[in-house]
């Protein structure tokens, strides 16, 4: 074992910090109280477009009938499915890569 290996195993917090912007503490508290949430989660919902009690209710309790059709949201989905089915049928290896992006 290397003498300095210990420094690589010590947990460290990253320098990045989450910032909630823009803040709407009054609405966040109303949504939090109404839906029994923390104000932080309520603010996340606000930042995602749930800027009223009704929109927050819909955002927090989505119904499948209200969701858009997957082919509308992901126009290349049908083509992707065909590629995957073909690769599986022919025994090819598959690598799936993706990125989660927060936009609000």
Helix axes 53-60, 39-47, angle to 10 degrees: 100
Pick left, alpha or beta for residue 39 (phi over 0 → left; psi -120 to 50 → alpha; otherwise beta): alpha
Peptide bond into 16 cis (omega under 30): no
Instruction: Tell the burial category of 48 from Cβ atoms under 10 Å away from its Cβ (0-12, 13-18, 19+).
Output: middle
Position with higher pLDDT, 12 vs 83: 83
Whether 45 contacts 54, CB under 8 Å? no
pLDDT bucket at 73, cuts 50 / 70 / 90: confident
The answer to pTM > 0.95 is no
């Amino acid at each position: 074992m290397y003498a300095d290996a210990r420094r690589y195993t010590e947990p460290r917090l990253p320098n990045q910090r989450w910032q909630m912007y823009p803040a709407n503490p009054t609405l966040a508290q109303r949504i939090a109280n109404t839906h029994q949430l923390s104000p932080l989660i309520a603010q996340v919902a606000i930042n995602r477009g749930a800027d009223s009690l009704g929109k927050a209710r819909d955002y927090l309790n989505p119904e499948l009938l209200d969701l858009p059709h997957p082919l509308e949201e992901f126009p290349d989905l049908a083509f992707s499915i065909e590629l995957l089915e073909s690769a599986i049928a022919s025994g090819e290896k598959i690598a799936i890569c993706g990125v989660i992006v927060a936009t609000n």
